[in-house]
Structure 1
């Protein structure tokens, strides 16, 4: 009888030993703490201040893909008057685990949409928004979206055991060797 009661616990522990999950919120927090940057550009006498204010993450909306939405602000000082706009750029990508630094990276990053608010500025400063979206894309391609912390014993062990990633709704599951 006692063995029968221990069976669910043993099965649960076996499942824990073959995978580890990172939540959508953990990835989003990491990106907002480590990747969000301010970018300043000068272009043809216009001073452009742009910055990514936050990144939102959705895991598993599409099979094995991550959606990242970058929100930003644009301020363009023109000779006549300043222009202000909010930008939103949506990307999707396939995650990859890189064992050498225990980081999760984005491959096949695709820009799906760029929009400005107010919409009436789309024609006037749309190219600047597209340039800002490309800068966000470059940041997301070059930097990890999450890194397992080698200073924490549990994460260090997980980092050494991880072989691949599986994207599921709301989480990334690290699969072990």
Structure 2
């Protein structure tokens, strides 16, 4: 019992010496799919096209200091004869930024890497509209946080106060402290 009491201050001191905290690729992906995907519905002006994102996949550190986000979605085009359906996959890359005022991570310098439609024969028919919708998704993703530290949890509240910058590493985002 006395050994435990002696170790407690040492453990607390070592915990306070940490200079970084990591958020895993899976944590970011889960946050995006739980909080962001539901909010993204895309509209096309002038065409009867409905679309939405069904899932977002995240890869961290494949490119230096960048995040790769792949959006999977469904498109439905109403035509006079019959509706056309397609699956859409859009890959983005971006630089993460930590915003201390709301303890959130955002995407900057977001670029569309590619837009793929399945079946491929619809690429010629709705490819330009799909790219327009990919731009809408890009704008929506840039405006929303990709991860928010939960300040109701004491550990994350302390991390939120201390975070100064962010670093992208393979499989994780590392928050660096002041």
The 5 A counterparts of 1:79-158 are 79-158=80-159
In the TM superposition, residue 119 of structure 1 has moved relative to its aligned partner by 0.3
| Residues 1:145 and 1:99: Cα distance change in structure 2 (over 3 Å) | same
Gaps of 5+ in 1: 1-5
For the 8 Å contact 2:106–2:147, the answer to whether it is kept is yes
- With structure 2 as the length reference, what TM-score do the two structures score? 0.88
Distance 2:79 2:171 in 1: 43
Gaps of 5+ in 2: 1-6
Where has structure 1 moved over 4 Å in runs of 4 or more? none
Q: Which residue of 2 aligns with 1:24?
A: 25
Distance 2:139 2:42 in 1: 15
Distance 2:17 2:58 in 1: 25
Distance 1:43 1:80 in 2: 20
In the TM superposition, residue 47 of structure 1 has moved relative to its aligned partner by 2.2
- With structure 1 as the length reference, what TM-score do the two structures score? 0.88
Distance 1:22 1:174 in 2: 8
For the 8 Å contact 1:161–1:176, the answer to whether it is kept is yes
| Residues 1:42 and 1:104: Cα distance change in structure 2 (over 3 Å) | closer
Structure (1/2) with the larger strand percentage: 1
Secondary structure in structure 1 of the residue aligned to 2:48: strand
Q: Which residue of 1 aligns with 2:43?
A: 41
For the 8 Å contact 1:35–1:139, the answer to whether it is kept is no
In the TM superposition, residue 131 of structure 1 has moved relative to its aligned partner by 1.6
| Residues 1:155 and 1:128: Cα distance change in structure 2 (over 3 Å) | same
**RMSD over aligned Cα, in angstroms?**
1.8
For the 8 Å contact 2:60–2:172, the answer to whether it is kept is yes
Q: Count the aligned residue pairs.
A: 167
Q: Which residue of 2 aligns with 1:160?
A: 161
